[in-house]
Amino acid sequence: MTGAARTRFTRGATAAIPLLFVAIVPLQRGIDRYRASMSAPEELWVGSGTLLKTISMGYDALLADIYWTRAVQYYGAHFETGSSQFKELYPLMSIALTLDPRLTVVPRGGSILLSEPNPIGAGRPDQAVELLQQAIVGKHDDWQLYASLGFVYYWYMKDYGHASQVYLEGSQYPGAPIWMKGMAARIAELGGSRDTSVMVWSQIYQTATEPRARENAKQHLMALHAQADIEELQKIVDNYSGHIPRVTSLRDLVEDRVLPDVPVDPAGYAYVLNSSGVVTVNPASSVRMDILDAGKHDKAAE
């Protein structure tokens, strides 16, 4: 047969290739395991933004995009594993911002991811502040940066003094919306009142472009609304509990014609009265009251 040896060789090689690939899979898994146990600074490639900018030879904008993309991917990957403190998130974002100070998505989107407590974000509003301040240095007349910074101070750090200052400063730049001045005044006056918080979150909800940010704002608004409802209901329950027989559920209040119907939360679930006499959100509801605990953290960084 013509080329018998050649055919044998070709057949042998073609058969061996998939087998070898099969052997590669467990090897790769092993490598992934070992690499995960190593520290991640290689995510940064080169640790200094200024240095990168110097050597990037005009491709800094491209590199900035790459770094921002990697920051988002880093966030996504670590979010899935649920383990992380997102240690490299701030450095990645800071480098991206150094490379391209006009890439505003970095401080605006990044500040939320940095500020939100674990497991959603890094829980480091202080880093968010640094990032936003770095951004403002590079682009001091962008009102949106001030709005973001004011929000971080207000919500996550409960630092009403700085929050008010920042909103006021931002309000004077071109394009700043009218509500910024008002916000500054309200915060200075009322501090951490719920109405102010609702105002702030409403603004975020209306102006956010990223779906995750919008969703987050909506959750906060729903929780705030529920919080107000609960306070009202609690007052009613507490007033009524002087009567006999004891109120065991909100249904009772309806039967006694104190309430027209069992009130529902913004997600449509009825509020419930627990065994200790405290009004709470229905366990089945999608309204999450725990997110209002955000910012109750110590302002000081870890």
Partner 1 sequence: MMAGTVAINTFREAVRDRVLYNLIFFALAMMAAAVFVGQITIGIERLVIINLGLTAISLIGTVMAIFIGVGLVYKEMEKRTLYSLLAKPVRRWEFLVGKFAGLVLTLAVNTALMTLGLAAALFYVTRGFSRADTSILVAVYFILLELALVTALALFFSCFPTPMLSTLLTLGLFVAGQFSTALREYGHVAHNRALELLLGAIYYLLPNFHNFNAIGAVAHGDAIPGALILHNTLYAVLYITVVLLGASAIFANMDLK
Partner 2 sequence: MVRSLDNLTFQVEEGEVFGFLGPNGAGKTTTLKCVMGLIFPTSGTARVFGRGIDDVQMHQEIGYLPEQPYFYDYLTARELLDYFARFFGYSAAEREDRVAHFLERVQLTRFADVQLRKFSKGMLQRAGIAQAILHEPKVVFLDEPMSGLDPIGRREVRDIILELKEKGRTVFFSTHVLSDAEMLCDRVAVLAGGKLRGIGSPAEIVSIEVHGMEILCDIAAGRQLPAALAAHAVRSGNRYRIQVPEAQLYGVLDQLRDSEARILSVAALRPTLEDYFIQMVEHPKGAPPAAASAGEQP
Residue 136 CB contacts under 8 Å (≥ 6 apart), including other chains: 142, 145, 146, 149
Main-chain phi, psi angles of 66, to 5 degrees? -60, -45
Strand partners, 273: 279
Q: Which of 17, 61, 62, 278 binds partner 1 (CB under 8 A)?
A: 17
| Options 3-11, 109-117, 187-195, 223-231: segment touching partner 1 (CB under 8 A) | 3-11
| Site membership for partner 1, residue 37 (CB under 8 A) | yes
Residue 13 interacts with partner 2 (CB under 8 A): yes or no:
no
Q: Contacting partner 2 (CB under 8 A), which of 5, 15, 38, 178?
A: 5
Beta strand pairing call for 279-280 and 272-273: antiparallel
Of the listed pieces 3-11, 35-43, 144-152, 286-294, which binds partner 2 according to CB under 8 A? 3-11
Binding segment for partner 1 (CB under 8 A), chosen from 42-50, 146-154, 213-221, 229-237, is: 42-50
| Closer residue to partner 2 in complex, CB, 7/249 | 7
Task: Give the shortest CB-3-to-partner 2 separation in angstroms.
Answer: 6
Say if residues 148 and 108 touch (Cβ distance below 8 Å): yes
Tell me the C-alpha distance between 53 and 51, whole Å: 5
Q: What are phi and psi of 226, to 5 degrees?
A: -65, -40
Q: Which is nearer to partner 2, 6 or 212 (CB)?
A: 6
Residue 6 makes contact with partner 2 by CB under 8 A: yes
Q: Which of residues 273-302 bind partner 1 (CB under 8 A)?
A: none
Taking CB under 8 A as the criterion, the residue among 1, 57, 76, 209 binding partner 1 is 76
Of 221, 204, 206, 183, residue with least CA distance to 112? 204
Helix (H) or strand (E) holding 272: strand 272-273
d(CA 215, CA 205): 8
Q: Is 42 in the site for partner 1 (CB under 8 A)?
A: yes
How many other CB atoms sit within 10 Å of the CB of residue 128? 28
Residues with Cβ within 8 Å of 68's Cβ and at least 6 positions away in sequence, in order, are 92, 93, 96, 103, 105, 106
By beta-carbon proximity to partner 2, the closer residue of 6 and 35 is 6
Residues that bind partner 1 (CB under 8 A): 6, 9-10, 13-14, 16-17, 20-21, 23-25, 27-28, 30-31, 34-35, 37-48, 50-51, 54-55, 70, 73, 76-77, 79-80
Q: Which residues bind partner 2 (CB under 8 A)?
A: 2-6
